[in-house]
Amino acid sequence: MTSAPGKDPAPAPSGTLPAPEIVAILSGTHNDPFSVLGVHAAGETYVARCFIPGAEAVVAETLSGKEIGALERRDDAGFFEGPVSLRKEQPIRYRARNSGGEWIVVDPYSFGPVLGPMDDYYIREGSHLRLFEKMGAHQIWHDGAKGFHFAVWAPNARRVSVVGSFNDWDGRRHVMRLRTDTGIWEIFIPDVPAGAPYKYEILGKDGTLLPLKADPFARRSELRPNTASVTTGEIAQVWEDEAHRQHWEEVDPRRQPISIYEVHAASWQRRDNGEMLTWDELADRLIPYCVDMGFTHIEFLPISEYPYDPSWGYQTTGLYSPTARFGEPEGFARFVNGCHKVGIGVILDWVPAHFPTDEHGLRWFDGTALYEHADPRQGFHPDWNTAIYNFGRDEVVAYLVNNALYWAEKFHVDGLRVDAVASMLYLDYSRQHGEWVPNEYGGNENLDAVRFLQTLNTRLYGIHQGVITLAEESTSWPKVSHPVHAGGLGFGFKWNMGFMHDTLQYLAREPVHRKFHHNDMTFGLLYAFSENFVLPLSHDEVVHGKGSLVAKMAGDDWQKFANLRAYYGFMWGYPGKKLLFMGQEFAQWREWAEDRALDWNLLEYHLHEGMRRLVRDLNGTYRSKPALHARDCEGDGFEWMIADDRENSIFAWLRKAPGEKLVAVVTNFTPVYREHYDVPLPVAGRWKEIVNTDAEIYGGSGKGNGGAVYAEKRSNGETIATITLPPLATLMLEQE
């Protein structure tokens, strides 16, 4: 069991502290100030000691204000001690005076510890699932006083202090208590207000003073370029989302329509003066827009605190803190609540793979490689100039797992999209021979990372049944979205990076050459049901010189738009959940940049507004037709009708779900207008044309089938519909 320093007898029977002890307190080098400061037994009486810089006289009082003794100034720097009239050790306060006036200081060293032996036990075991309520800074009542309790993990530090605006950033004044069993330092500081900036001042084990560190568990942070953590109370949000959460707890998300709008909150829209919107302003604009557009979820690029805007949030220094760019944390809670009230889910990009090397962050946190591997072959990522979490440490795994639980519990987020999973799974990811360390079996699999991801998904799904996890995993690692008990990683979904790569590669080719690359569009169906896939057209495809989606398409401007419309129809009819990055729904021409708003003025032009209308209608069709979504992840929901017409670059398939009307999807990826094209259909009769991406309202040429086609059974036993195929277009036909 952890001892609780701070209640030991004073070193001398008389209660008078030896001078060297005072010097150690005043210099901030005393390794256990709780054994010196506060109230201590001295024989059959009690003595109080305090360090109050600037005080000329100090009187000790009970917390209720009863005077219990005047203390003697032992050092002009502000060290006082003296006997006090108490019957037991208890929290006290001091009335300090100097020529400038009088003030009250409640003695933090007269309070006992807040963390208990059960916390120590679960922390040591690595199974504590409420760390976000124990670590960091929390406003509490403790032994009759209100203040903040601070706790931080720094097992190799010689000394850790809380410094902030409330103590003039003086590391001598609030040196913390070490819990030796866990390496956690803690202190309760009375009267610290909410909204106060703070950091940790740490002496390394060799006595070196380290750069001030932000709180790894901080729940609020200063706005960049400032880097301090900020004290804050619990989220004060009246949640009105019970129906939304209950729905997702009760359904199988694989069989629900999921169409995700991927958003970078800092650049979706901005104020007229170029400033970023607050969460409340985003709620007023973004939520109604997504409702109108028919998206089911908003996925934000990382919103936890990060210092560098061009990192888009992927290099976070405050994993528990919503970034101050958009206001206080309560603003984000209000945003999520607003989304849930209208049935929109919120997914966060989440980055447990690596962290930046900024000096106020996690790297070399206590003077040692604490959160990261000490060996750079395991602990440093050369591509991103970042540190890699040490997934072999129980404390690091607990830090990350608790963070996932924190966002789900405190902010009611609906899902986490886990970034860069491939970089976590492979020890040789982006490394040459000799630059990586094999696992215990000689392989390149990061077994610690595998166990971490399995633990993450087991804990998150076990506690929050309505939350989903999505893996950005670009390799053929097996069973990413299979249950842990079946040997999988336990994710709910996996991004289908192969679909994105193959289809965009195909559409960048001139139509005359596409017949030679027909397999680019059919190959994905060989593995489409091996995982629960999301089809992503993400931010990664519209940055770093890649251009926008419409700019990637082959042909002249008309053909570029027609290609993209046909592609969207193809994708919304293809098995898998959908994801589209902001701006691509109206075919933004310019490549996305994080420092400016999208080009919303383009909606004044028919082709761009037509694209937006198409995406809205595709979402509506996808959501309202179970055949298009209820078997997205299961092979019985798909059947090829035409897979081999490479000469004409035409594809056709059926989407289906038990007891629901069939939907046929037909795509012509050439600019050739084809009349009298035969498509096999399973049922004779009228099939309604529910989507035509070439419709004039979308900016197309207006070719089509007059709203319906008819399938007839022929003498050879086949049921065929002879249809008109517009140029560069996708049709969806529903059985009537």
What crossing angle do the helices spanning 117-125 and 394-410 adopt, rounded to 10°?
110
Query: Would you give the distance in Å from CA 50 to the centre of its chain?
Result: 43
Pairing of strands 468-471, 415-418: parallel
Query: Sign of the C-alpha dihedral, residues 48, 53, 56, 60?
Result: negative
> Which of 28, 452, 17 shows the shortest CA–CA distance to 201?
28
Q: Which residues contact 526 (CB under 8 A, 6 or more apart)?
A: none
Q: Is the CB of residue 335 less than 8 Å from the CB of residue 279? A: yes
Is the peptide bond preceding residue 13 cis, with omega within 30 degrees of 0?
Answer: no
Supply φ then ψ for residue 656, to 5 degrees.
Answer: -150, 160
Residue 599 appears among annotated catalytic residues:
no
Query: Which one of the listed residues 372, 472, 473, 632 is annotated catalytic?
Result: 472
- Measure the CA angle with vertex 475, ends 473 and 480; round to 5°: 55
Pairing of strands 386-388, 380-381: antiparallel
Q: Is the CB of residue 683 less than 8 Å from the CB of residue 669? A: no
Tell me the C-alpha to C-alpha distance, in Å, between residue 373 and each of 140, 214, 370, 437.
35, 20, 7, 12
Residue type, 351: V
Query: Sign of the C-alpha dihedral, residues 221, 223, 225, 230?
Result: negative
Supply φ then ψ for residue 136, to 5 degrees.
Answer: 85, -150
Spatial distance between the Cα atoms of 561 and 615, rounded to a whole number of angstroms: 13
Spatial distance between the Cα atoms of 375 and 630, rounded to a whole number of angstroms: 47
Query: Would you give the distance in Å from CA 19 to the centre of its chain?
Result: 51
How many Cα atoms are found within 13 Å in the side-chain-facing hemisphere of 97?
A: 8
Spatial distance between the Cα atoms of 633 and 622, rounded to a whole number of angstroms: 14
Spatial distance between the Cα atoms of 112 and 117, rounded to a whole number of angstroms: 13
Supply φ then ψ for residue 691, to 5 degrees.
Answer: -145, 135
Task: Please provide the distance, in angstroms rounded to a whole number, between the alpha carbons at the two ends of the chain.
Answer: 72
- Tokens 């997934």 label which residue? 391
What crossing angle do the helices spanning 242-250 and 329-341 adopt, rounded to 10°?
70
Query: Would you give the distance in Å from CA 374 to the centre of its chain?
Result: 26
Query: Which one of the listed residues 330, 419, 694, 734 is annotated catalytic?
Result: 419
Q: What is the DSSP string of 271-326?
A: -TTSPBPPHHHHHHHHHHHHHHHT-SEEEESP-EE-S-GGGTTSS-SEEEEE-GGG
Strands of 577-673, DSSP E: 577-581, 638-645, 650-655, 663-668
Q: Is the CB of residue 591 less than 8 Å from the CB of residue 539? A: no
Q: Is the CB of residue 8 less than 8 Å from the CB of residue 15? A: no
Residue 734 appears among annotated catalytic residues:
no
> Which of 615, 495, 490 shows the shortest CA–CA distance to 549?
615
- Tokens 């770093």 label which residue? 544
From the CA atom positions of the chain, what is the Rg in Å? 31
β partners of residue 60: 69, 94
What crossing angle do the helices spanning 606-624 and 557-573 adopt, rounded to 10°?
10
Q: Which residues contact 406 (CB under 8 A, 6 or more apart)?
A: 132, 320
Residues labelled as active-site residues: 419, 472
